[in-house]
C-alpha cells in the first residue's frame, strides 16, 4: 500500500470517528432536553402541589429543596423521593409528611422520570 493511500484511509477513519461523536453528543443533548420537558410538564406540578410547601428555598425540610429542576432531578435520581412516596402514610418517613399518599398515577409519573436517561 502506498503512503498516500494509507493517509487517505486513516484520514477517513478519523473523520468517521469525529462524525459519530458529534452525533452522540447531539443525541444526548436531545435526551436531556426531553427529560427537562418531561419534568416541566409532569413532575413540577406534582412537587408544587404536594412537596414544595416544605421543600423549597434555603430553609427546606431535611435540607432538601424540590423547587427547581436540578435539585428535583438529583433527588429523584438518587431514589430518595421514590423511597419516601412509596411508603404507606402510617410508616415513618412517609412523604408528603402529614399529607395523603400520592395517587398511583403520580407515583408512576415520578417512576418514569427516575428511569429516564440523560448523560
Site residues, ligand HEC (CB under 6 A): 50-51, 53-55, 61-62, 64, 75, 80-81, 84-85, 93, 95-99, 102
**Which lies closer to ligand HEC via its Cβ, residue 32 or residue 107?**
107
**Minimum distance from CB of 100 to ligand HEC (Å)?**
10
**Minimum distance from CB of 48 to ligand HEC (Å)?**
10
CA distance 14 to 54: 53
**Minimum distance from CB of 88 to ligand HEC (Å)?**
14
Distance of CA 25 to the CA centre of its chain: 17
CA distance 60 to 14: 50
**Which lies closer to ligand HEC via its Cβ, residue 85 or residue 109?**
85
CA distance 23 to 118: 15
**Which lies closer to ligand HEC via its Cβ, residue 36 or residue 67?**
67
Cβ-proximal residues to 116 (8 Å cutoff; 6+ apart), any chain: 31, 34, 35, 38
Amino acid at each position: 500500500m502506498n503512503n498516500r493511500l494509507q493517509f487517505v484511509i486513516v484520514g477517513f477513519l478519523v473523520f468517521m470517528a469525529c462524525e459519530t461523536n458529534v452525533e452522540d453528543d447531539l443525541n444526548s443533548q436531545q435526551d436531556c432536553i426531553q427529560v427537562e420537558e418531561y419534568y416541566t410538564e409532569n413532575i413540577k406540578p406534582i412537587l408544587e402541589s404536594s412537596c414544595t410547601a416544605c421543600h423549597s428555598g434555603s430553609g427546606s425540610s431535611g435540607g432538601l429543596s424540590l423547587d427547581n429542576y436540578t435539585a428535583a432531578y438529583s433527588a429523584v435520581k438518587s431514589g430518595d423521593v421514590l423511597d419516601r412516596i412509596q411508603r404507606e402514610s402510617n410508616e415513618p418517613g412517609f412523604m408528603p409528611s402529614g399529607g395523603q399518599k400520592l395517587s398511583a398515577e403520580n407515583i408512576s409519573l415520578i417512576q418514569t422520570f427516575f428511569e429516564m436517561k440523560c448523560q
